[in-house]
Structure 1
Amino acid sequence: MSLGEHADHVDAALSAPRVRQWTFAEFAVTSTFVDGGSEFALHRHEEDQLAWMASGSVEVSVGSDRWHLRHDHAAWIPTGVLHEMRFAEPGELVSAYVDQRHRPSPSGWAQARVLALDPLGGALLRHLSVDGRSAARRQAAYALLSDLVAEAPVSREVVALPRDSRARAIAVALLAAPDDDRELAAWAASEGVSAKTIARAFLADTGWTFREWRVRARLHVAVGLLQGGEPVHAVAPSVGYDSVSSFISAFRARFGVTPTAYVGRSRSADL
């Protein structure tokens, strides 16, 4: 798919798209507002893509890998790689497209990966998705973004979804209802398999035990609720925590800051 054809793809993929697009000399940035339940069916691009959710979340499928991402991560999808995206909730998808000749570095970028995106990276993507910028400012912003992407760590913390269809069904259900406290045996029984089978699938496909994956999934959902304006005392029980203090402790252990500080940092980056 060429840069000029991208808008047509978006129009076809969304039932009621609201898309802004600006094309530059060697790269393009799009800002797409997506509705909950919409998706981009299996497709590929003729350029490398850096896909970032400014708000909301996305499930990205690349081959056998499936990731559930929010604004603290971005998906790097190389030229020609088949992928699809599903949006369970409304949000804004910001994507940068660049010819593969201008990758952040000569090697290591031919495989899809999830990158930990810091607030500056998100701010640059937002900057590039607004019209009226001078050509010099756009090029300077993209050069800095490219440097940040080149140094961004490949994330091992992202909420990956299991490849096994039964384990994946459980994972999706838990993301939709993180306060469901059923144990592994009960979840496995709901899919008609043994707890050991589901446990093996989670560990093999996500790198985490079922229990650890659920903690991370709960905090992942919590981030979206906090960024949507929900107070900490309401978020804690909605993602399965019996007390606010235990939720804050778990959040700090995962993100290094309290929920309030995390949201404050995110909002500052958007200014």
Structure 2
Amino acid sequence: MSRNGQDRGRRHDTAILVGQFTMPRGTFFATHWHPVHQLLCSERGLLRIRSEQGTWLLPPALALWIPALVPHATGSEGDAVMRGVYVDPVSCPHIDWRDPTVVAMTPLLRALVEHLDRTDLTPEVRSRAELVLLDELRPVPVTSVAVPQPRDPRARAVAEALRAHPADGRPLAEYGRQVGASARTLARLFVAETGLAFGQWRERLRMQAALPYLAEGLPVESVARRVGYASASSFTAAFHRVVGVTPRQYFPR
């Protein structure tokens, strides 16, 4: 059912199949696709999913619907357990999402996934549960936290320095003295090569850097300081602006 062997050990006689994969830190499934729809969710830990449409970091509270035939790569941020729910497109013609779509992993949806992983369900019971699962898919306004990498060596050196130290708040002019380019040149390169103004790019990078800390359960105040914000309120406002929800909505306790 996939090009990289992720479907091993699953049953092939139902409309919805469930697989579970233990993913130690650093596990990575290279770009692949499925002939069926896939709902990816985390049982534990943080998952990173990348496709041409964007990059998503998924905590257990969220899942990602990946339409059939959409190439994507999946990895773990730290130790994680991933659940893959594989859906025959014929069974859900009313779901016509063309791009990967984030959905809320509600308690009911998680219970249905666990229920459909059982091997002792009758066809009638399984069919009813499958219909309820499809009806429970609720999109949430979470934006892909993609941070494009500039190609120019000078802008790339600035980007790599900030990836290593996202809290660094130095202005472009100071970075420019290190890489041999004016602040105006660097600003132009970031817009031309990433599609983002430098301030927007750095803000996205900081949100991406913050997600693993939030997943570990660190207080918002502590995470804010680690990624360069003076207060929890300013960090929360930036997080909502970039991601679409607040940190506590993204990682409910």
TM-score normalized with structure 1 length: 0.66
Indicate whether 1:9 and 2:32 are aligned: no
Residues 40 and 85 of structure 1 are in contact (CA less than 8 Å); yes or no, is this contact kept in structure 2? yes
Which of 203, 208, 211 is residue 215 of structure 1 equivalent to? 203
Displacement of 1:28 in angstroms is 0.9
| DSSP-derived class of the 1:45 partner | coil
Indicate whether 1:117 and 2:109 are aligned: no
| DSSP-derived class of the 1:181 partner | coil
Displacement of 1:67 in angstroms is 1.0
Residues 56 and 145 of structure 2 are in contact (CA less than 8 Å); yes or no, is this contact kept in structure 1? yes
Larger % of helix: which? Answer: 1
Residues 26 and 75 of structure 2 are in contact (CA less than 8 Å); yes or no, is this contact kept in structure 1? yes
- Which letter does structure 2 place at the counterpart of 1:49? Q
Displacement of 1:128 in angstroms is 1.1
Structure 1: 5+ residue runs without aligned partners? 12-18
Indicate whether 1:152 and 2:133 are aligned: no
Residues 224 and 231 of structure 2 are in contact (CA less than 8 Å); yes or no, is this contact kept in structure 1? yes
Residues 262 and 61 (structure 1 numbering): CA distance in 2 closer, same or farther, change over 3 Å? Answer: closer
Displacement of 1:165 in angstroms is 5.1
Indicate whether 1:35 and 2:24 are aligned: yes
- Which letter does structure 2 place at the counterpart of 1:114? P
Indicate whether 1:57 and 2:47 are aligned: yes
Structure 2 CA distance, aligned partners of 1:188 and 1:20? Answer: 56
Structure 2 CA distance, aligned partners of 1:83 and 1:59? Answer: 7
Displacement of 1:237 in angstroms is 0.9
Indicate whether 1:85 and 2:74 are aligned: yes
Which of 106, 109, 113 is residue 128 of structure 1 equivalent to? 113
Displacement of 1:105 in angstroms is 1.7
Which one has the largest radius of gyration?
2
1:14 aligned partner: none
Deviation sequence 1:191-214 (CA, Å, 0-9, x none): 9884312222322xxxx5442343
Structure with more contact order per residue of length (Cα contacts < 8 Å, sep ≥ 6): 2
1:99 aligned partner: 88
Q: Percent identity?
A: 29
Displacement of 1:47 in angstroms is 1.5
Structure 2 CA distance, aligned partners of 1:60 and 1:148? Answer: 24
- Please tell me the root mean square deviation across aligned C-alpha atoms, in Å: 4.1
| DSSP-derived class of the 1:91 partner | strand
Deviation sequence 1:103-129 (CA, Å, 0-9, x none): 3526x44x3x23232242x75145413
Residues 40 and 65 of structure 2 are in contact (CA less than 8 Å); yes or no, is this contact kept in structure 1? yes
Which of 114, 129, 142 is residue 130 of structure 2 equivalent to? 142
Displacement of 1:20 in angstroms is 8.5
Structure 2 CA distance, aligned partners of 1:163 and 1:93? Answer: 28
- Which letter does structure 1 place at the counterpart of 2:100? V
| DSSP-derived class of the 1:160 partner | coil
Residues 209 and 95 (structure 1 numbering): CA distance in 2 closer, same or farther, change over 3 Å? Answer: farther
- Which letter does structure 2 place at the counterpart of 1:79? A
Residues 74 and 117 of structure 1 are in contact (CA less than 8 Å); yes or no, is this contact kept in structure 2? yes
Structure 2 CA distance, aligned partners of 1:188 and 1:89? Answer: 36
TM-score normalized with structure 2 length: 0.70
- Which letter does structure 2 place at the counterpart of 1:100? P
Deviates more, 1:87-96 or 1:131-140: 131-140
Displacement of 1:40 in angstroms is 0.8
Structure 2 CA distance, aligned partners of 1:169 and 1:20? Answer: 45
| DSSP-derived class of the 1:200 partner | helix
Displacement of 1:170 in angstroms is 7.0
Structure 2 CA distance, aligned partners of 1:34 and 1:191? Answer: 42
Structure 2 CA distance, aligned partners of 1:114 and 1:209? Answer: 26
| DSSP-derived class of the 1:89 partner | strand
Displacement of 1:56 in angstroms is 0.8
Displacement of 1:189 in angstroms is 7.2
Deviation sequence 1:67-116 (CA, Å, 0-9, x none): 1322365443333343322334332322211112123526x44x3x2323
Structure 2 CA distance, aligned partners of 1:201 and 1:221? Answer: 21
